[in-house]
Structure 1
């Protein structure tokens, strides 16, 4: 009698575990990237803040949260740039939509090449202001 009741319950529990485990792993899937803002292009301001991002390695969707302060004025444009090392400049990979208020949260879609560049530490976030239209603050994204 004990065997008849426990085997079906054990099979049900095993089935639930087998189905739910991949779903739980997929929900937490992602690679973390972080960067700290520094000055760029000879700015005299003292930018502070950071970027935290999570890349889904399957879909290449990048979810981000950007915080900043200490700029000469309002941010009027923001972009992911690359490929470039920390001491190099590069063109825009993906624009970041506004409104540009801190914190700025959102997501962008990368292609496989852009995702590979991000994983290699070759992508940075650039914040542009009226005083520094080429970029006032830069945060190189590093995998954590």
Structure 2
């Protein structure tokens, strides 16, 4: 009888231990984001490079460990630095918070995985979950960084995201017949009131002379400039650009933004009123 009770007790203990482990790794504890892109266009200022990369990241709110796998390809040279930088939104730079360069493969293409403690000092949890840190890989030709990737977790209640908003001439008012096109990925953080965006375009008929967010206007109507991001915008017929803007309640208002009353516009000398446009709709 005692042997039976001992065996039963051991089973109960094992069940309790396994249950505790499962509770420790509940979905509420961990946030993940796979396939975060790294590119020269996310550098500030943007870099022209054929290099690219991506990152898979996860953060455990109980252990405070940030785990990531970083992949890169076709760098212009052997890496000279690899870090997490912060705090900075898209379109701004910041200092090094975690240096993992000594451990990565010293190759132009490679992969690396590790973890870092979010200690509240060098890396802060709230800032991490608000997308204010980024990966950066440096090379001899690009000492300030050749490819960069913002660390963003989209599946959170205070984040709204829309991928692949289409830039077309037909959205212009009046409509424009053009082969130019593009896409915009947008993310709005209701806690920080930051609107972040990543814009791609191709086949413009002329060198850009302006690039803005306009509002407030629904589809089929025009409005004035509320955010001018042309000063650092590449003067290319095709390209990519990343930045962010504060939804300050004056130039850009949250309610109007979430109701689709702002739009991106790229202008040139042939189409001074705008060649391609994309309404910001969620």
Is this a same-fold pair by TM over 0.5? yes
The answer to whether 1:70 aligns with 2:210 is no
Number of residue pairs the alignment of both structures matches: 133
2:247 aligns with one of 110, 117, 122: 110
- Once the two structures are superposed, the pairs formed by residues 35-74 of structure 1 within 5 Å of their partners are 35-39=165-169, 40=172, 41-74=174-207
1:91 aligns with one of 211, 221, 224: 224
Assess if the C-alpha contact under 8 Å between 2:180 and 2:202 holds in 1: yes
| Cα separation, 2, equivalents of 1:99 and 1:84 | 23
Structure 1: 5+ residue stretches without partners: 1-9
Q: Which residue of 1 is the match for residue 270 of structure 2?
A: 131
Greater RCO structure (CA 8 Å; 6+ sep) = 1
| Cα separation, 2, equivalents of 1:122 and 1:33 | 15
RMSD, aligned CA: 3.0
- C-alpha displacement of 1:20: 2.2
Larger Rg: 2
Deviating beyond 6 angstroms after TM superposition, the runs of 4 or more aligned structure 1 residues are none
Q: Which residue of 1 is the match for residue 213 of structure 2?
A: 80
Q: Which residue of 2 is the match for residue 120 of structure 1?
A: 259
- C-alpha displacement of 1:73: 1.2
Structure 2: 5+ residue stretches without partners: 1-19, 30-59, 63-124, 131-152
- TM-score, scaled relative to structure 1: 0.76
- TM-score, scaled relative to structure 2: 0.41
Higher helix share: 1
Superposed CA deviations along residues 79-133 of structure 1, whole A, max 9, x for unmatched, are 1111111111111111114232521111111213522211001111000111111
Q: Which residue of 2 is the match for residue 7 of structure 1?
A: none
| Cα separation, 2, equivalents of 1:78 and 1:132 | 12
Assess if the C-alpha contact under 8 Å between 1:96 and 1:108 holds in 2: no
- C-alpha displacement of 1:42: 4.3
